Amino acid sequence: MTYKQDLINAFNQLELEIIQFSEQLLKHTRNHAFVAKVYTLPDVAKGDESNEVSSISVHKLASYEAIDETIKLINLLFIHNKSEDVSNKSAIRLPGAICIQTEFKKYQEFSQHISKINELKAQIKNIVTHVNEAQRFDFIRESLHGLLTLNTYRTLTALVDVDTINFGWANKKVINNVKKETMLDRLQASLDSGRCPLHIPREHWRLQLENEIRLVNSLPHDAILKTQRPVKVQPIARVWDKAQQKQVQYACATPLFVFALEKEIPEIKVGELPDYHADNISIRHRPKAKQVELLIPRLNLYIER
């Protein structure tokens, strides 16, 4: 069986599981106690993906409106199901929490759906990332045209009987170590593919890649290379579990699903997500990072000195 057929089969199963989970969520919340709060964020227009963000106004939805918006987002897997004016490169986020009163048997059914959804999402991501990076775009287009990979890969978070959920904002960098040989392979694959960014003449692009290959080739064999990619401000949830005396922070791109088994819904305190204002974010103490030098800006590639 080919990678393409593997991908299509896994995706068809994922769609079915998401539909079944959505139907179960709607049916259950019609007949059982629940609290739902989600926050819609402003759309990012095409071309505005790289703009600096200094403020974000959130709009709160509660109860059945929050359930409907959550179901709409987790079922949004293709570009053609969203507005053409909204960027395809920017993640659609819906922070919040849905707290559901349920007995153990029903919780098991919910948990099985969520586990299967997350398993299929991981399987799909694994299939796609095993395809050579230079060929990945064409592979997705030919297999599942218009697939929103950001939404498709994003897993769901399920929690049980927590005490408090508070929301906030986080700025961070994604830092990965990368081997010299890996970077050379990546650059060579881009050169061999013949594909070129629309805004750069083909000959200029080829020369740029050749220069980048020469630069990386000239580095010592034991050079410590890192990619440091800044991630735009994103909503987070801080969850406190009194029984375990433990606080865990979650990225909150989709609502957390919280199941009240031994607790009653009013015992789970769900906070509010404030608007984001860059001037109000305090940077906590961070360990001193090792000195790095920028090598290739477009790849956010650095060398440790």
Q: Are 242 and 269 in contact (CB under 8 A)?
A: no
Average pLDDT, the chain: 88
List C-alpha distances in Å: 240 to 26, 39, 114, 165, 249: 27, 20, 22, 7, 9
Measured in degrees and rounded to the nearest 5, phi and psi for residue 18 equal -65, -40
Per-residue pLDDT tens over the stretch 167-196: 999 876 677 888 888 888 888 888 888 888
pLDDT for the residue 168: 93
How does residue 200 score in pLDDT terms, banded at 50, 70 and 90? Answer: confident
How does residue 285 score in pLDDT terms, banded at 50, 70 and 90? Answer: very low
List C-alpha distances in Å: 17 to 115, 125, 144, 154, 279: 10, 17, 18, 14, 42
In 3D space, the residue among 199, 223, 231 whose CA is nearest the CA of residue 296 turns out to be 223
Higher pLDDT, 40 or 228: 40
Alpha carbons 209 and 207: distance in angstroms, whole number: 5
Per-residue pLDDT tens over the stretch 113-157: 999 999 999 999 999 988 887 788 888 888 888 888 989 999 999
SS3 string, the chain, reads CCHHHHHHHHHHHHHHHHHHHHHHHHHHHHHCCEEEEEEECCCCECCCCCCCCCEECCEEEEHHHHHHHHHHHHCCCEHHHCCCCECCCCCCCCCEEEEEECCHHHHHHHHHHHHHHHHHHHHHHHHHHCCCHHHHHHHHHHHCCCECHHHHHCCCCEEECCCEEEEEEEEEEEEEEECHHHHHHHHHHHHHHCCCCCCCCHHHHHHHHHHHHHHHHCCCCCCCEEEEEEEEEEEEEEEEECCCCEEEEEECCCCEEEEECCCCHHHCEECCCCCEEHHHCCCCCCCCCCCEEEEEHHHCEEEEC
